[in-house]
Structure 1
Amino acid sequence: MDTGTPTPRRRMRADARRNYERLLAEAAAAFAEHGADFSLEGIARRAGVANGTFYGHFATRRTLLEALLGDRMRTLAATGTELLAARSPFEGLATWARAAMVHTTIYRGLGAALMQAVEDETSELHTACKAVLAAGEELVARARTAGEVRPDVTAPDLYALVNAAAWAGEQSSPPQGERLLAFGLDGFRTSATGRE
């Protein structure tokens, strides 16, 4: 029988919510500054909470990344679906590839973490990653069917290009990611839709 929740329990829930939000904010700042491999214990220290509090909210790095990136990944997948209606299938594909590269470079080293999540069905990011990959596959298939990209171009080619461009953007100064992506996409095009 429920006799009402005591005030201390309500306060704990509010405190837990504040800790959760503080941890997300500190994780976003730490990952932006140091990369997606930054120590989870370091994030707890930055947020001023015990490690146990951190792991109570985020059991794994992937749980944390899902909380930080889940909405962004769902938006990227939805953008891919919307771009299936683009007048030029190649331009739809190229627009999505640029958005995917920007997403992958939010945090240095994020691409590797996301690719691991795709392979791990127990990962909190697995479903979101699969939706993103499915969007890319559909865009490649549409551009191939329209004859706007070479018939041998595959979705894994697209993902490899996006990841390589993201890596180049992280490693070079000035960043070369956009240029590499543009060169790669140009190589995807058929001669009929390539450079004038």
Structure 2
Amino acid sequence: MRSDAKKNYNHILAVARDVVTEHGINASMRDIARRADVGLATLLRHFPTREALFEALLCTNLDALTQTADELETSDSPDEALESWLREWLAFAQSYRGVVALMAAAHTNPDSALYASCAAVHSASAQLLLRAQAEGTARADMNGDDLFALMTALGWAVDQPSFAPRADHLFHIIASAILTNPSRPDVKTAAC
């Protein structure tokens, strides 16, 4: 990619990140193009679909999540690693409104631009679950698909304005359903 095209690409991504942070995944492609001061055709040349734009936006975050899982797998006890991973996932899910729905749809669709990144996140979480199961600290009757479904459900719930204030409490409920001895929540949210 030529240096001017790369600069344009990076500028569009920076603007898209701001617009998506403000408006969630349903942000208008036209609005992104307008705010980036480029034509819609230029935006679509770089990102032919909404999913392609989100793949570019989320790639760094998803790669970081996968890297975190790799680090947790060797540095923490299996149950603490899985719980830390779930907290990392929740923070990621809260950073982009609506991203969980995109990921849930993409993780089984090889034609999706998000498929590879979602598959990596799915695989990383499944590895952490298997490690915790081997130590007897996670339910033995679930698999990586179940864990991804629970992560997705939690991410969707805290994306809703009515549930967002209860994110820590909901996290603890999900962690309690997965781990045999999850840590207690940092703040009192059960009375919310």
Matches of 1:73 and 1:60 in 2, distance apart? 19
Residue 106 of structure 1: CA displacement? 1.7
Residue 101 of structure 2 contacts residue 156 of structure 2 at CA under 8 Å; is this kept in 1?
no
Corresponding residue of 1:93:
82
Corresponding residue of 2:50:
61
Indicate the larger mover: 13-22 or 146-155: 13-22
User: 1:187 pairs with 154, 177, 183, which one?
Assistant: 177
Matches of 1:195 and 1:47 in 2, distance apart? 45
Cα distance change of structure 1 residues 98 and 178 upon mapping to structure 2, 3 Å threshold: same
Q: Read off the aligned partner of 2:100 and give its amino acid letter.
A: G
**How many pairs were matched up?**
183
Cα distance change of structure 1 residues 83 and 96 upon mapping to structure 2, 3 Å threshold: same
Residue 177 (structure 2) pairs with residue 175 (structure 1): no
Indicate the larger mover: 150-159 or 132-141: 150-159
2:25 alignment partner, SS class: coil
Residue 82 of structure 1: CA displacement? 1.7
Matches of 2:95 and 2:82 in 1, distance apart? 20
Residue 175 of structure 2 contacts residue 182 of structure 2 at CA under 8 Å; is this kept in 1?
no
Residue 118 of structure 1 contacts residue 126 of structure 1 at CA under 8 Å; is this kept in 2?
yes
Structure 1 gap segments, 5+ residues each: 1-9
Residue 166 of structure 1: CA displacement? 2.1
Residue 195 of structure 1: CA displacement? 7.6
Corresponding residue of 1:4:
none
Matches of 2:88 and 2:125 in 1, distance apart? 11
Q: What do the CA deviations read for 1:142-168 (whole angstroms, capped 9, x no partner)?
A: 111111012113223322222222223
Matches of 2:182 and 2:3 in 1, distance apart? 57
Residue 44 of structure 1 contacts residue 51 of structure 1 at CA under 8 Å; is this kept in 2?
yes
- TM-score with structure 2 setting the length: 0.85
Q: What do the CA deviations read for 1:93-142 (whole angstroms, capped 9, x no partner)?
A: 00001111111222111011112222221222221211111111111111
User: 2:14 pairs with 11, 20, 25, which one?
Assistant: 25
Residue 140 of structure 1 contacts residue 154 of structure 1 at CA under 8 Å; is this kept in 2?
yes
Moved over 6 A (4+): none
Residue 34 of structure 1: CA displacement? 0.7
Indicate the larger mover: 17-26 or 90-99: 17-26
Indicate the larger mover: 21-30 or 162-171: 162-171
Structure 2 gap segments, 5+ residues each: 185-192
Matches of 2:54 and 2:182 in 1, distance apart? 38
Give the structure with higher Rg (CA).
Answer: 1
Residue 22 of structure 1: CA displacement? 2.2
Residue 35 of structure 1 contacts residue 107 of structure 1 at CA under 8 Å; is this kept in 2?
yes
Q: Read off the aligned partner of 2:168 and give its amino acid letter.
A: E
